[in-house]
């Protein structure tokens, strides 16, 4: 498949969304005065993160931050107590909110007019290409990520931009090989348990032996390889190269079969400053990020010269 920038930008936007809008439901009721919050999963939450407790459109009017994250037991320890009882725990969501504000938009491309702040824009600045081997090229995508916040006060605006940019950089560094379209998705037919090598899938036609795959649910992700496809009549099982590191349920698990592979990426710099947009003074930061992809070239290429 030809390398295109659109899918790269979409992949970056997904990573940013997952890190600046990290959210998880409670895993048990929480009562007023509690500072120990059991959650479905604590992944991507970090010490000193500002959070909001939400139920539907309701936001608790409270400035809470995370004091400690226990990822093994999925518990968030807060620096202050919640103000209300949350017995409907499955519909109560803990949301990361830098500066206790929700990011209002993550836009494709840079925009002259942005309706609400804080906001983030992502665009591809350029994409050089060079020969990597006799039959392949290295396609480099140089991307700029801009963070904008209203400069209501100098200190609060600067802190908000710094916090959001730090969070995005951490997310990008945690995704050196991001998932980029094009890819196929298949599902499990039976629940799979931690330690399993064999999994039962719904559609083996999309799977090839020795193919790279990613097994993922909303809380865990594991890269693996298909080491064997069982040929017995009626079998829908495949064998993985490595055992599963977590339990995976039919209801929320996807198996990703990628066709593109970003083999290197990194946020190389962050620049800070101010800017004027639509008569608004904004605090701003620009993150420079690159991704490198190998693209196979069919040689020789025959193209009509006169028609």
User: 278 is written with which tokens?
Assistant: 């639509």
Q: How many whole angstroms separate alpha carbon 35 and alpha carbon 76?
A: 8
User: 255 is written with which tokens?
Assistant: 């198996």
pLDDT for position 3: 64
CA 78 to chain centre: 24
pLDDT for position 243: 97
pLDDT for position 63: 92
What is the per-residue DSSP string for 163-208? HHHHHHHHHHHT-SS---S-EEEEEBSS-B-TT--EEEBS-GGG--
pLDDT for position 1: 52
- Domain 105-178+262-296 CATH (choose: 3.10.50.40, 3.40.50.10860, 3.40.50.720, 3.30.70.1700): 3.30.70.1700
- Give the percent of the chain with pLDDT over 90: 73
- Closest by CA to 148, choosing from 172, 164, 125, is 164
pLDDT for position 2: 62
Q: How many whole angstroms separate alpha carbon 130 and alpha carbon 165?
A: 31
pLDDT for position 205: 81
Exposed e or buried b per residue across 4-19, where buried means at least 16 C-beta atoms within 10 angstroms of its C-beta: bbebbbebbbbbbebb
Q: How many whole angstroms separate alpha carbon 73 and alpha carbon 39?
A: 9
pLDDT for position 225: 95
- What is the per-residue pLDDT across 179-205, written as a single tens digit (0 to 9) for each? 998 899 999 999 999 999 999 998 888
CATH topology of domain 183-256: mini-chromosome maintenance (MCM) complex, domain 2 (2.60.320)
User: Which positions ≥6 away from 216 have C-beta within 8 Å?
Assistant: 222, 253, 254, 255, 256
- Closest by CA to 31, choosing from 74, 72, 73, 92, is 92
C-beta contacts of 113-118 below 8 A and 24+ residues apart: 113/277, 113/278, 114/148, 114/277, 114/278, 117/148, 117/149, 117/150, 117/280, 117/282, 118/147, 118/148, 118/149, 118/150, 118/160, 118/161, 118/164
pLDDT for position 40: 92
- What is the per-residue pLDDT across 2-36, written as a single tens digit (0 to 9) for each? 668 999 999 999 999 999 999 999 999 999 999 99
- What is the per-residue pLDDT across 156-186, written as a single tens digit (0 to 9) for each? 888 899 999 999 999 999 999 999 988 999 9
Burial class of 247 by CB neighbour count within 10 A (0 to 12, 13 to 18, 19+)? middle
- Angle (deg, nearest 10), helices 5-20 and 154-173: 120
What is the per-residue DSSP string for 66-110? EEEEETTTTEEEESS--SS-B--GGGEEEEE-GGG----EEEES-
Backbone angles phi, psi at 289, to 5 degrees: -135, 145
pLDDT at 122 over 80: yes
pLDDT for position 167: 95
- What is the per-residue pLDDT across 36-78, written as a single tens digit (0 to 9) for each? 999 999 989 999 999 999 999 899 999 999 999 999 899 999 9
């Amino acid at each position: 498949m030809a390398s295109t920038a659109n899918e790269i930008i979409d992949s970056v936007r997904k990573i940013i969304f997952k890190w600046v809008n990290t959210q998880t439901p409670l895993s048990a009721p929480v009562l007023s005065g509690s500072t120990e919050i059991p959650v479905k999963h604590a992944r991507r939450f970090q010490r000193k993160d500002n959070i909001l407790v939400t139920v539907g459109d309701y936001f608790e009017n409270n400035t809470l931050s995370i004091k400690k994250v226990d990822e093994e037991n999925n518990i968030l320890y807060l620096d202050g107590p919640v103000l209300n009882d949350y017995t409907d725990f499955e519909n109560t969501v803990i949301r990361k909110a830098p500066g206790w504000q929700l990011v209002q938009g993550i836009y494709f491309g840079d925009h002259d007019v942005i309706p609400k702040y804080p906001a983030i824009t992502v665009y591809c600045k350029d994409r050089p290409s060079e020969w990597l081997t006799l039959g392949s090229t290295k396609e480099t995508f140089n991307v700029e990520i801009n963070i904008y916040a209203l400069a209501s006060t100098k200190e609060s605006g600067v802190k908000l931009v710094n916090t959001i940019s730090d969070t995005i950089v951490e997310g990008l560094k945690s995704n050196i090989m991001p998932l980029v379209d094009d890819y196929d998705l298949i599902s499990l037919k039976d629940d799979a348990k931690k330690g399993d090598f064999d999994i039962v899938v719904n559609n083996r036609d999309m799977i090839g032996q020795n193919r790279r795959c990613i097994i993922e649910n909303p809380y865990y992700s594991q890269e693996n390889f298909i080491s064997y496809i069982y040929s017995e009549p009626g079998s829908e099982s495949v064998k993985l190269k490595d055992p599963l590191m977590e339990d995976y349920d039919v209801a929320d698990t996807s198996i990703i079969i990628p066709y593109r592979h970003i083999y290197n990426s990194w946020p190389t710099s962050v620049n800070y400053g101010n800017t004027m947009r639509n008569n608004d003074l904004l605090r701003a930061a620009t993150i420079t990020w690159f991704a490198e992809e190998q693209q196979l070239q069919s040689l020789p290429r025959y193209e009509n010269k006169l028609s």
